Amino acid sequence: MTDEAHDASGADSTGAETTAAEAGAAAEDSSTTGSVVRGERFRGGPARSFLSSLAADERIFAADLAVDRAHVVMLAEQGIVAEGVASEILTALAAVEAAGHDALPEGEDVHEAIESAVVDRVGPDGGRMHTARSRNDEVAACIRYRLREDLLAAAEASVGLRESLLSVAESHAETVMPGYTHLQPAQPTTVAHWALSYENAVARDTSRLLAAFARTNRSPLGAAAFAGTTFDVDRERTAALLGFDGVVRNAADAAAGRDFLVETVATLATQATTLSGLAADTLLFANRGLLTPADEYASTSSIMPQKVNPDTLELVRATAGDAVGGLTGLLTTLKGLPRAYNRDLQRATPHAWETVDAVTEATEVAAGAVATATWHEEALAAAAGEGFATATGVADLLAQAGVPFRHAHEAVAAAAADAEVALAEGDTDAAVAAVDAATESVVGEPATTRVDEATLRAALDPVESVASRDSAGGPAPSATAAEREAARAALVADRESIAACRQALAAAAETLDAEVSGYV
C-alpha cells in the first residue's frame, strides 16, 4: 500500500505542475510504457518487487473499489469531474471488480493497479479518478474501511466466548470446585464463579474493541498527501457514502496517523492474554481430571493411542505470543516516524491483519472448547476441599467470634496439617479437634468455646463454605445469580451495538450503490 504518487493539485512525481488533460495523457502513455503513477522513470530495477505490496493488498481490494467509487461520485457532484467521465470510470471499476484482484495489471500496490486497469479501459480520462487525492489519504481510508469489518468480527467472537462462559456459569451455579493461588489449593469456589471471572474480562475486551471501532470509523479522504487540496471537495460526503461517522479533521493526522492500528492491536493483545489464562486454567483442570475437552477440541498421540491431548487450547494459549509480537512490531515500526507519510507505514498494517485474524480465530476456538467441555462434578467436589481449602472460612469464623484475625490466622495455620489429613479421610470430628487444640494453644481456649460446634463443622464443608461467601462478586450461588443477570444484560447490549454498527455500514453501502447506479 504505497502512497505519494502525485498530490491532489495534479503535480506528477517529479513535482512539475500538470493540467488535468496532461495528467490524463501521461496516464495513457504510462499504461503501455510504464507505471500509471510513476511513468517510465521509476519503472525498472530490482527494487520494484521489494516496493510492491500488490499481493498483500488483496485484503483491501474491495475497500479500494468502494473508496474509488465514493470519491468519483463526490467529484462528479462537486463538478470537478464531468458526469460522463464519472460514468466511464464507474463502469470501468465495475469491470475491474468482476475480473477480480488476480486480473489486475502489475503495480506497486492495489491502488495503482486498479487505476491502471481503469485507464486501460477508459483511456486518458480514467486518470481523472485520482483528482483531488493522494494515495496517502486513499490508503488510510482503505485500511480503516476494511479494519472496521475485522473489528466487528473480533467483537462478535468475544461476545460468542462470553455466551459460552455464561452458559457454563448457568449450568454449574452450584458446582463447587477448587480455587487455586500459586497453583496450590486455596479456597473452594464454584465453576460459575470461575467462568464469570473470565466473562467479566472478555466483556471489557468487547468494550475496547467497540471503542477502537468508533475511533477507526472516521474518514481520512480529502486530506490528500497531508496538506489538503485546492479542489472544492466535500469530505463529509465521501465519509457518509463509505459509512464513516465523520472525518479525521487535520489533514496531516488523517494521512499519517496509525494510532487506530495500535489501539486495535493492543486491544487484541489484551484479549489474547485473557485467552491464554483461560486456556492455561482449562489445561490444568484437564490435567487434574476435573474436566475433559470434547474430541472436537482435542487430538491424540501419533504413537500413544490412549492420549487425549487438549491441543487446541495450547494453541490458543500460544496466540498471545503472536499478538504481543504483532503489537511490538507495529509500535517499533511507528516509533520515531516524522509526521507525514513514510514508506515504513507499508510494513505497519500487516501486523494488524495478522493479529486480528489470529486472535479472532483463537477466541472462536476457545468459545467452542469451553462450551463443549465436560465438567466432572464428583471430582470437582472431592478436590474442592483439598489442602484444607476451608481454612480461611474457619479463621473468619473465629474472627467473627471476637478472636483477633491475626491470632485466628495463627491458630488455623497450626491446625492445618492435622485438619487436612482428617478432612481427606472424611473425619470431621478429628478436624474439629485439631482446630480446637490449635486455638487453645494460641488464644488460651478451644475454638468451640467461642463458636458453635455445628457452625464450625459447616465452615469445614466446602459446599457450606461457598454458600457463606455471598458478598457482591462472591462464589455463593445467590451472588453469582445477580452477576449472571448483569452479565447477560451487558452481553445483549453489546450484541445490539454490533448489529447497529453492521446495519449502518450496510445502509451506507446501499446508498453508495444507488448513487453509482445513477452514473452507470
Catalytic residue list contains 182: yes
Of 72, 52, 64, 79, give the one whose Cα is nearest residue 122. 72
Give the sign of the dihedral formed by CA 195, CA 196, CA 201, CA 204. positive
The set of cell numbers assigned to 326 is 504483532
Residue corresponding to grid cell 482449562:
282
Concerning whether 351 is annotated as a catalytic residue, the answer is: no
Judge residue 350's burial from the number of C-beta atoms within 10 Å of its C-beta, 0-12 exposed, 13-18 middle, 19 or more buried.
middle
Alpha carbon distance 468, 477 (integer Å): 10
Q: CA 316, CA 282: separation in Å to the nearest integer?
A: 11
Q: Which residues contact 406 (CB under 8 A, 6 or more apart)?
A: none
* Catalytic entry in 49, 301, 441, 478: 301
Q: How many residues does the chain have?
A: 520
DSSP state of 105: P
The DSSP bridge partners found for residue 190 are 176
Cα distance from N-terminal residue to C-terminal residue, the chain = 28
Q: Using N-to-C axis directions, what is the helix angle for 477-517 and 191-216, rounded to 10°? A: 30
Best CA proximity match to 317, nearest among 349, 276, 348, 284: 276
Measured CA to CA, the distance from residue 155 to residue 327 in angstroms comes to: 18
Position 279: which residue type?
A: A
φ and ψ of 291, to 5 deg: -150, 165
Q: Look up residue 229 and give its three cell numbers.
A: 487540496
Per annotation, catalytic residue among 182, 302, 471, 517:
182
What DSSP string runs through 396-415? HHHHHTT--HHHHHHHHHHH
Per the rule left: phi > 0, alpha: psi between -120 and 50, beta: everything else, 30 is alpha
Cβ contacts of 442-451, under 8 Å, gap ≥ 24: 442/407, 442/410, 442/411, 442/414, 443/403, 443/407, 443/411, 447/394, 447/398, 447/411, 450/398, 450/401, 450/402, 450/403, 451/397, 451/398, 451/401
Q: Cβ contacts of residue 315 below 8 Å, gap of 6+?
A: 362, 365
Q: Which residues are catalytic?
A: 182, 301
